[in-house]
């Protein structure tokens, strides 16, 4: 478990700073530019989202651990969750910079995405960079594709 040494404001956070964030930035840019009627642009948007999911799968995530989170007395791990449309989502960040923008001095852990996806129940999603400019939900059905094979 690590505690960040500093915090940054949302708009002054460096982005992208790693391969996962490079892929996320491209996916956001291409899907935002995809008008409903342009099949080629929609295809590029879908391909960039697939590249992001692949990069995310191979990368690591920064998970905040507020009080009460972490390893419990019985050996289980309690993670924080957010409610998104009635479903639980674990808040995760793509870099220490993204985490620091919202979670200040909270302790956190860094975990390979595949390892996190392996232990999440099937009804739990990931809230990637919640509250930040580069924020996206990963719905539970997609979380399953992030797990190790």
Q: Rounded to whole angstroms, how far apart are CA atoms 45 and 11?
A: 25
Q: What is the pLDDT of residue 8?
A: 40
For 127-146, what is each residue's pLDDT tens digit?
Answer: 999 999 999 999 999 999 99
The model's pLDDT over 5-50, given as tens digits with 9 standing for 90+, comes to: 344 444 578 999 999 999 999 999 998 876 654 565 568 889 999 9
CB 63 within 8 Å of CB 111: yes
- Residue 51 and residue 22 in contact, taking contact as beta carbons nearer than 8 Å: no
CATH class of the domain at 14-146: alpha beta
Q: Where are the domains of the chain?
A: 14-146
Burial of 44 (0-12, 13-18, 19+ CB in 10 A): middle
CB hemisphere CA count around 87 (13 angstroms) = 14
Please report the pLDDT score of residue 4 as a whole number: 42
| 109, pLDDT greater than 70 | yes
Average pLDDT over residues 77-96: 94
16 preceded by a cis bond (ω within 30 of 0): yes
- CA dist 24 and 20 (Å) reads 6
């Amino acid at each position: 478990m690590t505690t960040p040494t500093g915090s940054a404001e949302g708009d002054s956070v460096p982005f992208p700073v790693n391969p996962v964030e490079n892929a996320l930035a491209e996916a956001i840019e291409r899907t935002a530019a995809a008008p409903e009627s342009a099949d080629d642009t929609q295809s590029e948007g879908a391909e960039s989202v697939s590249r992001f999911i692949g990069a995310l799968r191979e990368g690591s995530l920064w998970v905040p651990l507020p009080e009460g989170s972490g390893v419990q007395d019985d050996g289980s791990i309690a993670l924080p969750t957010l409610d998104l449309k009635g479903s639980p989502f674990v808040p995760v960040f793509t870099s220490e910079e993204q985490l620091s923008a919202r979670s200040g001095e909270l302790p956190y852990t860094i975990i390979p995405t595949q390892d996190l996806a392996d232990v999440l129940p099937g009804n739990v999603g990931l809230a990637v960079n919640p509250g930040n400019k580069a924020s996206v939900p990963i719905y539970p059905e997609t979380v399953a594709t992030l797990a190790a094979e």
